[in-house]
Amino acid sequence: MRARVVVLPRPDILDPQGRAVGHALASLGFGGVQGVRVGRVIDVDLDDRLDRALAAAQVDAMARELLANPVIEDFAVEWPAG
């Protein structure tokens, strides 16, 4: 089973990358872009035999301890099918 951890800069944290990408989109002529934030996606493949609730708790702990830095980032865990 696959857990997808989506990590994004917290809204109150300046994201210079997102800002630069936003400017680039505007210069390409895309109007109406009000904000861009650049983060990362981390896919973690887990043993299918793991209990789902246990796996969810484990991925949550992984995100808190290493994959995201709560000082500057928020994260969400998704469970893509297939």
Site residues for other proteins per CB under 8 A: 9, 12-17, 20, 65-67, 69, 71-72
Could you tell me the two tokens for 60?
A: 């949550």
Q: In one letter, which amino acid is 45?
A: D
**CB of 53 vs other proteins, minimal distance in Å:** 26
- C-beta contacts of 12-19 below 8 A and 24+ residues apart: 13/72, 13/73
Of 9 and 55, the one with the shorter C-beta distance to other proteins is 9
Q: How far apart are CA 8 and CA 77, in angstroms?
A: 12
Of 16 and 29, the one with the shorter C-beta distance to other proteins is 16
Of 43 and 52, the one with the shorter C-beta distance to other proteins is 43
In order of 14, 24, 81, the CA distances from 4 in angstroms are: 24, 28, 11
**CB of 32 vs other proteins, minimal distance in Å:** 24
**CB of 28 vs other proteins, minimal distance in Å:** 18
